[in-house]
Structure formats: structure tokens, C-alpha cells
Structure 1
Amino acid sequence: MDIKPLRYFIAIAKTESFTKAAQQLGVAQPAVSMAIKKLETDLGLILIHRADRNVGLTDEGKKLLIHAEKIIQATDEALLEMMELQGLNQGEVRIGISSMLGSYYFPSILMAFRHHYPSITLKVIEGGTWELQKMLENGELDLSVIVAETLPDSLETQTLVRGEMLVTIANDHPFSELDKIPPKAFFEEELVMFKEGYFHRRIVDKLAKEANMTPKIGFETNLIPLIKSIIRQGFGISTLLAMVIEEDDQLITRSFDPPIWLDLCIAWRKDSYLSKANQAFLEFVSEHGQNR
């Protein structure tokens, strides 16, 4: 089977449009339409609903999509491996990083790697931990930084660093008189939280459930400077990784009681081919992280 129609089919499924799929693929729309028609004829099935400009997959199309994505992913990895056997390196790393780590832990690592490997392109995708994990599993990312909690068997991980989640408060907050903060006391305060889907929020939600408390969330934002500003002005408290707190933030931190430690890992798919560029990045990050 020619796999080109499968690429067209996947693009149509994602864009829900023949026109948008053609634009994304850089081909003429009639070519896309003809390829899909031939694919349906070869399979003897209708794969796509075409009614009043609304494009959607049939039940048969939805089943084919699962296999098509796996076929394209395996084909791309096989081609990359064959190219690298000939000494041809695409030199690209697609990595997913959350806001907190992307802003405070990774900039120096990424710049140092780029300096060491100037021919390798870094594509950094920011997102929530859960979203990035799904993108990794679907082959949209080569690597992703995640928190090692419950991981699927399909992923391989390597620990980068262990970080403590600290209660973060203004200088004049009553918690400043305490050595450690019990979760129940934390959840009695107005909170400034990341949005759902980010590991910061997932940790807090899990902690609230264990304490049988409902978080009082006054602000939701993924902008760390804004979170710090809100805390500093006394409009709420939060919890941030120790690495995020800087001396000039004018904020106070305290450990939870008991302390909350997170293992931050870099992950990749077990069944995927890691290019030489990705292998170089893994080795570099591992060495850099151990030296921090």
C-alpha cells in the first residue's frame, strides 16, 4: 500500500477539512481528494463523511486512523534510522517542557546544548504535563519532561533532578512564623494556582484530596512572574518548586509537613527510534543535570 494517502487521511482527520489538509501538506486539494477516493476504493469502505462541508470520520475511518498514525510514525522512524546509517543526521530535537521548568531549569541547559551542537535544531513545546505526555505517546514529541508519578509502560524515563514543592508566601504572612505548613492550613488560604493539566496543579489537587479539603483558588495563571507578584502583594499564597524562587523575589518559602519532593524526569517512547540528535541531547542533559 502507498502510504502517502494515509498521510493525507491523517491530515484531514486532524483539520476536519480537505482544503486545510491540502494547505498543511502543501499539495493541491484535488490531489488529496483523489488519493482519499482511491484509498476508499482499494479498501472497499467509506472513511470520511462529506456532507454540507462538514468533514468527519466514519466508524471505519476512526479505526483506520489508529493504524494509520502508527504506520506513519513507524515509517518516519525507519527512514530516519536508515538516513543516519548513511551518516545523514536530521539534527532536530522536539522536546516538551512545562512552564516552570522551561523558565527556570532549562534555559541554561538549552543554550549550552545549542552552543555545543550548533547544527542541531531545538523545537521546544510548552504545555501541561498531561498534554505533553499524550503528545509524546502520539509521536508528536521525541522527548518530554514529566513528573514521575504514574507512568505508562510505553514510556522510558531518566531522572533529571529532584525538586521540593515549597509553600510560597509574602514576607508578612503568618506562615512565616512556622517552620513547616500542614496541608490543611495551606488549603484554608486563598490560593494562586496554575491551570489544570500542569504538574503544579495536579500535585495540589492530589494533596487537597488526601487532606479532604477544597482548594480556595482566587487566581489561575501559568505566568510565574504574575504568581509571584500576587503573592508578594498579599492576595494569595501558592506552592512553587524551590528552583523557581530567587533572592530578589522578596518572598518567603516553607516546606509542607510532611515535605513534598518530586522526581523530574525526561521521557521517551520505549518502542521509538531515538535519533542521534535525541541521543546526544539525552546524554548532555543527564550530564548537565548531575552537575547542577
Structure 2
Amino acid sequence: MDIRQLRYFLEVARLSNFTKAAESLRIAQPAVSMAVKKLEEELDLVLFNRQDKKVSLTAEGEIFLGHARRILDDLRGAELEMAELKGLTRGEVRIGITPMISAYFFPDIFRDFKRSYPQLSISVLGEGSGRIQKMIGEGELDMGVVAAGGSAAFPPTLEVRRFLREEIVVCVPLDHPFAGRQAVTLAEFIGEPLVFYKEGYYIREFFLEALKGVGSAPRIIFETNLFSLVKSLVRNGTGISIFLKMVVAEDSDLAAVSFDPPLHLDLLIAWKKDTYLSLANRAFVDFLLEHAPGERDGEAG
């Protein structure tokens, strides 16, 4: 087998379609089919079920998938390390960041990092925390920012370091009865019409988990993952919502009110365990951990 066959196999497995894999790889579809077929012949195994134009991994294919990912991860790590030893690359930081915090915490971090490392480039992808974890695991991202709260556990394949603890606050318009309060309870909050986030955003899963002891369901009247739209809907009185405190700290036309008891979310930088992290990425991790405040409005547990 060769590396090209492994790359084609992984792309077909990711997209569950030979044609889409070929389009993604920018090669002809027959070339992908032939390469995968040759790989199966060399292994003397069938890796894909091919029925009614639907493609899925066989049991043998599922097992081989893990091996193929590890082989390509090791190869990429070797290429990066050897290139760095020979001084052939300037270096790139590839990171996934949840949209809610990308515009409110990281711009200053990126600015200061570029001042310290002007030779390095930065590539940022905006995704939800769960999607970022999956992309790191599959090698589509080098590292990413993920969220955690309470007793949340991460897959054993991930290495994580916390860099910030941020308070989750109720967000209401200035004329709302909650606006003059020091704090509101979960029960009071879910009695209001809520503008909320769709599945896939960790702040939603974390909050719904926190509500399990309240005994009643939230009144969600509008769902979106566009946090700027959430703000607008809160401003015009459609409903109220929750945000990380940093996201609404400078909005003079919105009020941020604490929960009673307070709720906090941990933000962590994550990368794939036992995988080579390039010098550029390691420099960013070290910079982030050194310059992030670590604690905001709460003590770490």
C-alpha cells in the first residue's frame, strides 16, 4: 500500500461517497475507486459496503480506519519535525475556535502573538466545541478551543489545558424586570421566553444539564447559532438569553445578570494526544497559557 491509497481511503470514509471524495481531492472519480480497490486487493479485505450508491465502512474497514489515521498523523508529524529541523517552513498555527468567543477574546491574543512571532501565520476555523473535538481527532485541525463545565470529561485521545474560566450570565434588554437584579435563579430564567442556541453548541448542552434539577422545561421560542442575531432578538424584546459575560460586557443597551448560584464555563485549548505538535502550534499554546487571565469572575475548581 502507499500513502496516496490511505488518503483516498480516508476521504471516502469521511464523506461516505466516492464522487464527493474525488471532488474534495480534486481528482477523477475512477482514480479514487481504482486506488481503493487496489488497497482492498492488497489487504485481501473488503473495506467498504457498496450498495445502491451508498458507501459505508465494513467491520474490517472500521478497524483499518484507525490504523490509516495513525499512519498519516505520524507521517505528517515526521514531515513537520524534519522540515523544522532543516528550517524549511515559516510555520502555521491551525486552530478551531467557537464563534462566540472568537471575536471577544482572541483578537488581542492573535495581535500580540503576531507581534512576538511575526514569521508565523495563523489559520482559524469557527466551529462548535463538539465539532472541533471531532476534527482534531480526525486530523482536520491541529488544535482547538473547547468548552467544559462541571464534571465534563474529554475523550482520552485529547490533551487539554484550561486557559480561562468565564461566567455565564443572563442577557436581557434594559427595560426587563431582571435588568435591575443582582442575580436570578434558574427557575426564574426558564419561566421567560428564551432565545437559545441550537444543538452542537456546548453552552446549550451545559445549560440544559444544569436545568435537570429545576423540575420544569425551558420556554425556548427561537433557536439559532448566530450569536449576533441572539443579541438583536434580546434587544427588540423577542426573548432573553444567556452569554459568556465577555460577549456582552461592552453592550450598553443590554444588561448582564448573574445566576444564583453562579454558573461558569471553562475554556480549554486541546490537541490530539501522542501526536507531534509543530513548533508554531507549541509556541501558540505556550503564549495563550501565559497571557490568558485564567480566572474571571470565579475561582477554579
* TM-score using structure 1 length: 0.90
Distance 1:15 1:247 in 2: 42
Q: Distance in 2 between matches of 1:23 and 1:201?
A: 35
The share of aligned pairs that are identical, in percent, is 48
Deviation larger for 113-122 or 253-262: 113-122
Residue in 1 aligned with 2:74?
74
Greater CA drift, 125-134 or 12-21: 12-21
1:190 deviates by 0.7
- TM-score, length of structure 2 as denominator length: 0.88
Query: What's 1:250 paired with?
Result: 253
2:219 paired residue number: 216
Aligned amino acid, residue 167 of structure 1: V
**What is the root-mean-square deviation in Å for CA atoms of aligned residues?**
2.3
Q: How many Å apart are 1:206 and its aligned residue?
A: 1.2
Shift in CA distance, 109/48, structure 1 to aligned 2, threshold 3 Å: same
Q: Deviations over 1:153-185 (max 9, x none)?
A: 332222222211111111121123432111111
Contact between 1:95 and 1:144, CA under 8 Å: does it hold in 2? Answer: yes
Residue 128 of structure 1 deviates from its aligned partner by 1.3
Shift in Å, 1:288: 2.6
CA distance in 1, matches of 2:111, 2:198: 28
Deviation per residue, 1:249-290 (Å, 9 max, x gap): 411121111111222111112211110110111122223314
Distance 1:145 1:236 in 2: 29
Q: Which residue of 1 aligns with 2:125?
A: 125
For 2:222, the aligned partner's letter is: F
Are the equivalent residues in 1 in contact too, given 2:94–2:122 (CA < 8 A)? yes
Following superposition, the deviation at residue 111 of structure 1 comes to 3.1
Deviation at 1:248, TM superposition (A): 4.0
- SS at 1:87's partner residue? coil
2:182 to 156, 159, 179: 179
The equivalent of 2:64 in structure 1 is 64
Q: Which moved more, 1:143-152 or 1:272-281?
A: 143-152
Q: Name the SS of the counterpart of 2:215 in structure 1.
A: coil
3-state DSSP of counterpart to 2:292: helix
Change (3 A) 1:209 1:231: same
Residue 250 to residue 59, structure 1, CA distance change in 2 (3 Å):
same
Please give the per-residue CA displacement for 1:220-247, whole angstroms capped at 9, x wherever unaligned: 1222222122112222111111111144
1:186-205 equivalence runs, <5 A: 186-205=189-208
Distance 1:18 1:223, change over 3 A: closer
Q: 1:64/1:245 Cα in 2 relative to 1: closer, same or farther (>3 Å)?
A: same
User: Structure 1: which amino acid aligns with 2:57?
Assistant: L
| Partners of 2:173 and 2:255 within 8 A in 1 | yes
Q: Distance in 1 between matches of 2:32 and 2:135?
A: 26
Taking the aligned partners of 2:46 and 2:168, their CA distance within structure 1 comes to: 52
Equivalence map 1:6-21=2 (5 Å): 6-21=6-21
Gaps of 5+ in 1: none
Aligned-partner residue type, residue 185 of structure 1: E
Give matches, 1:1-292, under 5 Å.
1-51=1-51, 53-89=53-89, 91-148=91-148, 149-290=152-293
- Paired residues in the alignment total 292
* Aligned partner letter, 1:101: I
- The CA distance in 1 between the partners of 2:263 and 2:165, in whole Å, is 10
When structure 1 is superposed on structure 2, of 56-65 and 258-267 the one drifting more is 56-65
With over 3 angstroms needed to count, the CA separation of the structure-2 counterparts of 1:246 and 1:259, relative to structure 1, is closer
**In the alignment, residue 87 of structure 1 is paired with which amino acid?**
G
2: CA distance, partners of 1:86 / 1:58: 42
Deviation of 1:89 after TM superposition, in Å, equals 3.0
Q: Give, as a single letter, the amino acid of the residue that structure 1 aligns with 2:210.
A: L
Give SS of 2:89's match.
Answer: coil
CA distance in 2, matches of 1:129, 1:210: 24
User: Is the contact between residue 228 and residue 249 of structure 1 (CA under 8 Å) also seen in structure 2?
Assistant: no
Asked if the contact 1:191/1:216 (under 8 Å) is kept, the reply is yes
Question: Contact between 1:97 and 1:125, CA under 8 Å: does it hold in 2?
Answer: yes
- Give the secondary structure class of the aligned counterpart of 2:5: helix
The AA in structure 1 aligned to 2:45 is L
Q: Letter of the aligned partner of 1:252 in structure 2?
A: A
Aligned-partner residue type, residue 124 of structure 2 = V
- What is the rounded CA distance, in whole Å, between the counterparts of 1:249 and 1:92 in structure 2? 37
